[in-house]
Amino acid sequence: MVSRGRLRVYLGAAPGVGKTYDMLAEGQRRASRGTDVVIAYVEDYGRPLTRAMAEGLEAVPRRAMSYRNCAFTEMDLDAVLARRPQVALVDELAHTNVPGCRHEKRWQDVEELLEAGTDVITTVNIQHLESLNDVVEQITGIRQQETVPDDVVRGADQIEVVDMSAEALRRRMAHGNIYPPERIEAALANFFRAGNLTALREIALLWAADRVEEALLRYRADHGIQQPWSTRERVLVALSGGAEGDTLIRRAKRTASRGAGSEFLAVHVSRDDGLTGPSPRLLAHQRALVESLGGSWHAVAGGDPAQAVLAFARQVNATQIVIGATRRSRLKGLFGRGTGETIIEGSGDDIDVYVVTHSEAAHGHLLHRRRPPANDG
């Protein structure tokens, strides 16, 4: 049985950042080490440096096609499959093939190569990811007609961001290194405006960071690692479904906002003993508030609320937990006598716990921060 090939994606924020050049450079490196590498499809747009980087690499001839009395060339998938290289370089993953090809989209061609056991190195811009289509249109005013499903890129074995500042990219454009002279002025005034490029760059970096975080969580799960790794601040607010939840949510959001790249999550632990829980209407309101502030809502079931919160915190790699302290005379809330203390004691040295009393929450006072005991002895 043939092992599935590996997929490496060079991800950029915009045309001209150097994705194709880097893909070819990686092909040259592998070829120099004795790997059988072929160019299945590369579009150099006449750029001298890109064209020079392709020199010496074998290129599988393209397939000539005609559509509506116009001539086109596409990647010859059958020829690449017959050639059976170890590595195929395939540019522009989101490309739509000319009608008459076996697949509508190039990413489907790439999938067939991977299934045949060929490793593929490819390129794509962030604006071509399907989930970001509307966002990119809002920023640039241009709707991308060619897209690729996020899961195709997300499922890559390696994703490398080809990064370049907006100023540097605009200089490349002005110097004629991206588009021909007759297109430069219009490009700089429209898609390649500094604001557009800065926003697209941020989107690309954040999307890639989330992909890295997913890989980290899988690694920790696969290796049975329980303690959080503080790669970035992740604030978890534990909600009982009580009226104080709105204030706790806002406090968690402000805490997360103090650090660049931080995020916050909310978790509600429902009882698994069949007892009546909090108002569904109130929980729905709090979920909507969390999501409106950019957080994510999670619900888990458990007979021991404290242990359920702690288990979830370690599952999502939380670095801080925010809880509300119920008054001693009120035992009906989820966080009753001893639950807060159990969370603090069970958090270890790697998770900070913030406790907000009802009166402090109501009046917007600062959080009282309690660290877990360093040593019981």
CATH number for 94:
3.40.50.300
User: Per residue in 311-340, pLDDT tens?
Assistant: 888 888 888 899 886 554 443 445 544 677
Res. 377 pLDDT band, cuts 50 70 90: very low
Our count of domains for the chain comes to 2
Q: Are residues 168 and 287 in the same domain?
A: no
Task: Evaluate whether residue 353 is within a structural domain.
Answer: yes
- Give pLDDT, residue 116: 97
Cα–Cα distance for residue pair 224/195, rounded to 1 Å: 43
Q: Among the three residues 190, 221, 252, which one is the final residue of a domain in this structure?
A: 221
User: Per residue in 91-135, pLDDT tens?
Assistant: 999 999 999 999 999 999 999 999 999 999 999 999 999 988 888
Question: Which of 55, 16, 373, 53 is closest to 187 using CA atoms?
Answer: 16
Cα–Cα distance for residue pair 90/120, rounded to 1 Å: 7
Q: Are residues 290 and 324 in the same domain?
A: yes
Q: Are residues 203 and 269 in the same domain?
A: no
Q: Are residues 15 and 159 in the same domain?
A: yes
Task: Evaluate whether residue 77 is within a structural domain.
Answer: yes
Q: Are residues 216 and 244 in the same domain?
A: no
Task: Evaluate whether residue 31 is within a structural domain.
Answer: yes
Q: Are residues 122 and 216 in the same domain?
A: yes
Reading the block at residue 72, the tokens are 């086109």
Beta strands per DSSP E along the chain: 7-12, 37-41, 58-59, 63-67, 70-74, 87-90, 119-125, 158-162, 234-239, 263-270, 296-301, 320-325, 352-357, 368-370
Q: Are residues 128 and 174 in the same domain?
A: yes
Q: Are residues 94 and 213 in the same domain?
A: yes
Residue 37 belongs to domain spanning: 7-221
Count CB atoms within 10 A of the CB of residue 129: 24
Q: Among the three residues 221, 248, 283, which one is the final residue of a domain in this structure?
A: 221
Q: Are residues 181 and 255 in the same domain?
A: no
Q: Are residues 169 and 31 in the same domain?
A: yes
pTM of this prediction?
0.62
